[in-house]
Amino acid sequence: MYSYSASQWLLFFFIYCFFGWIWESCYVSIKKGKWVNRGFLRGPILPIYGSGAIIVLLATLPVRDNLILTFILGMIAATLLEYFTGEAMEALFHVRYWDYSNQPFNLNGHICLTSSIAWGFFSILMVRMLHLPIDRLVTAIPEELSQILAYILTAGIAIDAATSFREAMDLKDMLKHMAEHN
């Protein structure tokens, strides 16, 4: 069975946040034809990908040898995270960071069938291929160093999140003020 320390789980989270940022920023930049820094935070991380990776790992590592269960459990876990994150971000900031409204079989534009299916395949890819070298890398780090790295990265992200949250709330207030004047 997979047994990781809290600091190792945090390092996994940060690594997958960074990989998610690379993936999404490159994907959107190619579609737009110019560089787009995706995400809510200023730093090169997308916490939804780190959160998704951790949730998918927790849901699928016990069944990683069963492709069908890995697909289904990964798809469900990632889709639930995407839906509730989309709802929360829209409720808090009145902004949609993604919108699947034009896709068939979508729910409130926050999730859709094609993305859910993609999350299932990404779950298999992550659990069967990507996580193996990341597991070896993270578990090779001495626990004391792992704890220090996790602490430093957590502090940095907390500062970034607090600053980004404040800026988003300021933008929300400014937009509300402008709407009232119009």
Give tens-digit pLDDT for 116-146. Answer: 999 999 999 999 999 999 999 999 999 999 9
Global pTM? 0.80
The pLDDT confidence band at residue 1, using thresholds 50, 70 and 90, is very low
pLDDT digit string, tens, across residues 58-68: 999 999 999 99
**How many Cα neighbours within 13 Å face the side chain of 163?**
9
Across 39-70, b (16+ Cβ under 10 Å) vs e yields bbbebebbbbbbbbbbbbbebbbeebeeeeeb
At 28-58, the pLDDT tens digits run: 899 999 988 877 788 899 988 899 999 999 9
Answer yes or no: are the C-beta atoms of 79 and 54 closer than 8 Å.
no
DSSP state of 39: S
Closest CA to 52 of 112, 120, 98: 120
> Does 162 or 170 have the greater pLDDT score?
162
pLDDT digits (tens, 9 = 90+) for 12-28: 999 999 999 999 899 98
Burial of 85 (0-12, 13-18, 19+ CB in 10 A): middle
Instruction: Answer for the pair 124, 130: CB distance below 8 angstroms, yes or no.
Output: no
Average pLDDT of 151-162?
93
Residues 6+ apart with CB under 8 A from 14: 45, 50, 150, 153, 157
Query: CA–CA separation, 169 vs 91, rounded Å?
Result: 12
